[in-house]
Amino acid sequence: MKITRRKTRTVNLGGVKVGSGYPVSIQSMTKTDTMDVAATIAQIKRLENAGCEIVRTAVKDAACCKALARIIKKINIPLEADIHFDYRLALKAMEAGVDGIRLNPGNICKEDEVKKVVKAAARRHIPIRVGVNSGSVKIPRGGISNEELPSLMAEAALDYIKIIEKLGFYDIMVSLKASDVLQTIDAYRLMAKRCDYPFHLGVTAAGPELSGTVKSALGIGILLAEGIGDTIRVSLTGDPVDEVIVGKHIIQGLGLRRFGPEVISCPTCGRTEVDIIGIANRVEEALGRIRDEKGKLSGMRVAVMGCVVNGPGEAREADLGIAAGKGSGFLFIKGKPARKIKESEFVSAIISEINKTLERKA
C-alpha cells in the first residue's frame, strides 16, 4: 500500500518546509522553565541530536521572550513560540526572533488582537499555527455530545482562519488535538475536507510513556496512513527525546521516511535459549547512536531472532540477521549464512557489519 499525501500548501517554518510536497517532520516541546536559558538550550541540543526538526517552547510572560532571544542564538533548529491568553507575547516573541507562532483560538480570540499578531507575522514572514485544543474550545450553553466535539474544533479553527485570511495571510498550519484518539482523528478528517493548509498532528495529553506512545501511534498513525498530516508531535508525560524517538518510529513504521536501520526482533518464547530481549534492546540502542546524516543505512533491516523455527527465514530476508541457538547463533548477511558467532558477540558483530556498510558506501 502506498500512502498518498493530502495536497496542501507549503509553509516555511525557519527553513523547514511543512506540507505535502515535503517529508513529514518531527517536532517536540521543551519541558524546562523557558527562563532557565542554559537548561532549555541543553534540552534543545538533546532534541537536535535525537533528530527533532522543530522545537516549541512555552512563553508565559515577557521575561520568557527575553530568554528566547538568548536561546535562539545557540540552537540549530527552528523554534515555535507557544502563546496563550496574551497576544502581546506573540509580538514580543517575534521580536526575539522565533520562527513560528502557535496561537490558541480558545484564549486569544479578539479579532483586533489576532490581526495585530498576523500583521507582525506577515512583516517577518513567520507562519502561524492555529492550534485548537479540545480542552479550550468554547462549548455552547447546554453542552455538546462527544460526537459533536470534533466538528466544533474544526469550526473554531475555520472561524479563526477566516480572520487571518482577511489580511491576505496564508502561512497557516492547523492542529486539532483532543486527548481522545477518535475525536482527534475525526477533527482532522473533517478539517481535511475544508482547507488545504498543512496539518500539525498530535493527540494532546496522551499520557505517560507506554499509554501515550500507543495513543499517539494510533491517532497520528491512522491519520498519516490516510495521507493526512505534515508534521507531528508525540505528546508524552516524560523525556521529550522519547517523543522524537516515538515520532520517528511512527513515520518509519508507515514507510513515510527512513531514519536508519529497522530492528526486527522476535517476541521470544519457550524455545528461546539466549537473552534476545537484552540483545535486541542493545542492538537498537547501538544503532540509534550511529550518526548516519547522509541516510546510508536508510531502509536497512536488522533481524534478531530467538531460534531456528522462524529465525533463519527472517534473518535471511533482512540485510543483517542473527538466528540464535543455544549460546551461539548464525549471522546472515544479505540473505546468506556468513558465520557462526557466540552469544556474547551478537551485538558487536552487527555493529561491525553496519560500520563496514557505512565504509563501503562512503
CA distance 167 to 215: 37
Closest-CB residue for ligand SF4? 306
**Is 130 a residue that touches ligand SF4 (CB under 6 A)?**
no
Q: Is 309 in the site for ligand SF4 (CB under 6 A)?
A: yes
Asked if residue 268 binds ligand SF4 (CB under 6 A), the reply is: yes
Window of 28-36, 125-133, 166-174, 267-275 that interacts with ligand SF4 by CB under 6 A: 267-275
**In the complex, minimum distance from the CB of residue 286 to ligand SF4, in angstroms, rounded to a whole number:** 21
Q: How far is the CB of 263 from ligand SF4 (least distance, A)?
A: 14
Which member of 151, 281, 310, 357 binds ligand SF4 (CB under 6 A)?
A: 310
Angle between helices 111-124 and 149-165 (to 10 degrees): 60
The CB-of-13 to ligand SF4 minimum distance in angstroms stands at: 44
Smallest separation, CB 267 to ligand SF4 (Å): 5
Q: Cell match 482577511: residue? A: 166
Q: Does 305 bind ligand SF4 (CB under 6 A)?
A: yes
Shortest Cβ 342–ligand SF4 spacing (Å): 18
Cβ nearer to ligand SF4, comparing 242 with 275: 275
Query: Which residue, 198 or 329, has its beta carbon nearer to ligand SF4?
Result: 329
131, 311, 321, 329: residue in contact with ligand SF4 (rule CB under 6 A): 311
Least distance from C-beta 280 to ligand SF4, angstroms? Answer: 10
CA dihedral over 69, 74, 80, 85, signed as positive or negative:
negative
Task: Pick the binder of ligand SF4 from 261, 306, 321, 329 (CB under 6 A).
Answer: 306
Q: Assess 328 for contact with ligand SF4 (CB under 6 A).
A: no
- List interacting residues with ligand SF4 (CB under 6 A): 266-269, 271-272, 305-307, 309-311
